[in-house]
Amino acid sequence: MTFKRQLIIPAGARGTEMKTMSDLLEDFAKNVGASNSYAMGSQLKGREHLFQYLPASQNELPTRRMADSYNVAVIPLASDLSLREKYMTFHNSVRIGRLLEDLDIFAVCVCYQHIQNPKQVEGMPSSYSIVTALVDQIDISEAPLRHDADIRLRGHVTWVGRSSMEATMEVDQKDPERNEWQTFTKARFVMVSRDPLNKGSAIVNRLIAETDEEKALFKKGEENKERRLQMQSKSLMRQPPSESERLVIHDQFLRTVDWKSMSFKSRIKPENSVWMEDAKLKNMIICQPENRNRFNKIFGGFLMRLAVELAWANSYVYTKGLPILSHVDDIVFRKPVEIGSLLYFSSQVVYTQGHYVMLRVSAEVVHPESGAHDLTNVFHFTLKADKPVPEVIPRSYQEAMLYLDGRRHFVDTELNSPVAKL
């Protein structure tokens, strides 16, 4: 099953000429102007003078249209055999983690294309640094992507605040038999603009919606912002569970009490279930210069790829079958990750329902000298198995909160995407 296309081609958008992702990366490198090679501490050297070109208000910048940021790029898997091997899985589909990397790069390029600063002349490096704030939502078709057919990324900016931008994108694949494109993935990233040294926020151009379709997209962006604010205000880190959620946890507790012992301490696992503490998978990496971005931090897309592949492996172990990634939700980039960091990934099954498994992956920088852990990223993934999955059961209060948080994300997924109906 593939998705019906929802992303419109904005009024007045450029022609259908498509660059490859490699071409797009070359243009991006020229636009940013940061060094192509790694040298410790000198990555942003020479960008200090760009501060003078930053605007003090949005009134200094021209209003932009959705058409201005519209872009298309192709991943030529049909013709490039070496590239194909980089993207293919061992079961001959496409590695979703690689697509997440590409979507992150593409979202940055789309946002750079939105920005137009009259103070800067053509050929100058941009005075802006664009970074990923969060991945709001990615829906992935149940039908697997082919490893031997071209993939196309399309997208544009659909909402703008003062220094933040929402990039909406779709991933298509060309059907060689029909010679037509089909949409497999829909994605929404929230990006933020920063100053030349990536130390503070920077003001971006306003966005005007011209057609009814564009106005609907902009309104959706406003609604998404409000939804995220509401979710933050109702977070379990700020407010206690609702009455209905407390009943869910209490019912789970009663189902695991060993009534023969007449003790609340004695717990038994229900049939076809797994204790949450036994549904973990972890790894650690050393963050090397190879995986840096232009601003000398670890590339966010690389972190997403590692997280989703760990979540997939955990789900594979948990379900005892090859799972399919259905939905990516609420990835928050809390802090940049420095080159040389020891990055600790922890994957946890936090909620299950029917054929679906919800996993939470956290990324923490470990400081060997002190033993402290510093949380940098949180990822939420929903995967689908080919059979009903075992129920995950929390034992402690901390695990119960993880369970409820996962349940909230799954319910939000059901309400805002077709994932549960695939």
The domain that holds 332 is classified in CATH as 3.10.129.10
- Predicted pLDDT at 415: 44
Predicted confidence at residue 363, as pLDDT, reads: 95
Same-domain status, 113 and 248? no
| pLDDT for res 351 | 97
pLDDT in tens, 131-147: 999 998 899 988 889 99
* pLDDT exceeds cutoff 70 at 421: no
Q: How far is CA 320 from the centre of its chain?
A: 26
My answer on whether 211 and 293 are in the same domain is no
3-12, 94-103, 149-158, 232-241: least confidently modelled range: 3-12
Domain that includes residue 146, residue range: 19-232
Q: Report the alpha-carbon distance of residue 122 to residue 130 in Å, rounded.
A: 19
Q: Is residue 257 part of a domain?
A: yes
Given 207, 232, 257, the domain boundary residue is: 232
% of the chain exceeding 90 in pLDDT: 65
Q: Are 348 and 359 in contact (CB under 8 A)?
A: yes
Span 238-248, average pLDDT: 92
Identify whether residues 345 and 199 lie together within a single domain.
no
Is 4 within a domain? no
Q: Where are the alpha helices (DSSP H) in 122-242?
A: 212-233
Are 321 and 257 members of one domain?
Answer: yes
pTM: 0.89
Residue 13 lies in a domain: no
When pLDDT is averaged across residues 398-404 and rounded to a whole number, the result is 95
pLDDT band at 293 (very low <50, low <70, confident <90, very high): confident
Per residue in 252-277, pLDDT tens? 988 898 777 766 667 888 899 999 99
Residue 10 belongs to a domain: no
In this structure, is residue 383 part of a structural domain? yes
Nearest to 329 by CA among 302, 359, 368: 359
Q: Quick: pLDDT tens for 171-182.
A: 999 998 888 999
Over range 381-406, report the average pLDDT: 95
Judged against a pLDDT cut of 70, whether residue 17 lies above it is answered with no
Spatial CA neighbour of 174 closest among 161, 162, 184, 164: 184
Name the domain boundary from 206, 232, 258: 232
In this structure, the answer to whether residues 125 and 80 fall within a common structural domain is yes
Mean of the pLDDT values across residues 331-360? Answer: 93
| Residues 255 and 283 placed together within one structural domain of the fold | yes
Considering its fold, how many domains does the chain have in total?
A: 2
Question: Based on the domain organization, do 253 and 212 belong to the same domain?
Answer: no
Examine the domain organization and report whether 174 and 55 are in the same domain.
yes
Whether the per-residue pLDDT at 12 is higher than 70: the answer is: no
Together in a domain, 211 and 320: no
How far is Cα 219 from Cα 207, in angstroms, rounded to an integer?
12
Last residue of a domain, which of 197, 232, 267? 232
| DSSP character string of 86-101 | HHB-TTSBB-HHHHHH
Q: Does any domain span residue 38? A: yes
127 lies in a domain?
yes
| Residues 139, 273 within the same domain | no
CA-based nearest residue to 71, from 10, 161, 162: 10
Indicate if 221 and 308 belong to the same structural domain. no
